[in-house]
Chain A
Amino acid sequence: DIQMTQSPSSLSASLGDRVTITCRASQNIVTFLNWYQQKPGKGPNLLIYDASSLQSGVPSRFSGSGSGTDFTLTISSLQPEDFATYYCHQSFNIPRTFGQGTKVEIK
């Protein structure tokens, strides 16, 4: 199975901050990497697919980059509604696997 490792596990940030979350795959997954946001009591919501494509309806302050084994999710200017947990997810092969999550909290 492909292991997905996110860092950090949690972070504290202020409104307007630029936030970067990284995800590392245990093997080359090309660009089959997706990012989700999850708020308490809700299912995950797709933000970025194919490493850098913005899902329809997602604000442009979210962006993704990377290929191979190293990937990044960036929030350019943190907004109140962005405080949540973020997960990466590889869709390169079966079984699909997820990172352990990064919780973004208010500083």
Chain B
Amino acid sequence: QVQLQQSGPGLVKPSQTLSVTCVISGDSVSTNSAAWNWIRQSPSRGLEWLGRTYYRSKWYNDYAESVKSRITINADTSKNQFSLQLNSVTSEDTAVYYCARDVASGQIDYWGQGTLVTVSS
């Protein structure tokens, strides 16, 4: 059974960096058969895919154009986790952030518990 456990601060000041980490159990971040995603949800934007990292003999990343200049997703194989960093945040980045695993045809079969991140001074 795969579990994704998220951690990170719930409050970030405007212009600072949002960081959330997702620890994986029951699978490996460097598996060749899955990708590791970050998705956020807010009332105004709905479910919004932010990006992913995956390993296929080397590491790859894909990012949404809307955040491409501000986002970094990294995998840490020693801790079997992956992380999201979003720079220069504004109130528009206030949302629940989810980590998630996708497999096979891209369906997301496991989600983290979600982290509510509020951007406010």
Contact = CB atoms under 8 A, between A and B. Distances in A.
B27 interface: no
A36 B49 contact: no
A30 to B, nearest CB: 10
B114 A43 contact: yes
A85 B108 CA distance: 17
Contact of B49 (A44, A95, A101): A95
B106 A34 contact: yes
A100 interface: yes
Interface of B: prevailing SS = strand
B108 A36 contact: yes
Contact of B102 (A50, A91, A92, A100): A91
Interface residues of B, number: 21
A13 to B, nearest CB: 22
Contacts, number: 55
A16 to B, nearest CB: 29
A1 B105 CA distance: 18
Given A43-B111, A43-B112, A44-B111, A91 B46 contact: no
Query: For this complex, into which size category does the number of interface residues on chain A fall?
Result: 20 to 34
A87 interface: yes
B52 to A, nearest CB: 8
B64 interface: yes
Nearest to B4: A43
A73 B62 CA distance: 29
Interface of A: 1, 32, 34, 36, 42-46, 49-50, 55, 87, 89, 91-92, 94-98, 100-101
Given A42-B114, A43-B98, A43-B113, 9 more contacts: A32-B105, A32-B106, A46-B108, A49-B104, A50-B105, A89-B47, A91-B106, A92-B106, A98-B46
Question: Which 9 A-B pairs have CB atoms at the shortest separation, nearest pair first?
Answer: A91-B106, A43-B111, A49-B107, A98-B47, A96-B49, A34-B107, A95-B64, A94-B62, A50-B105
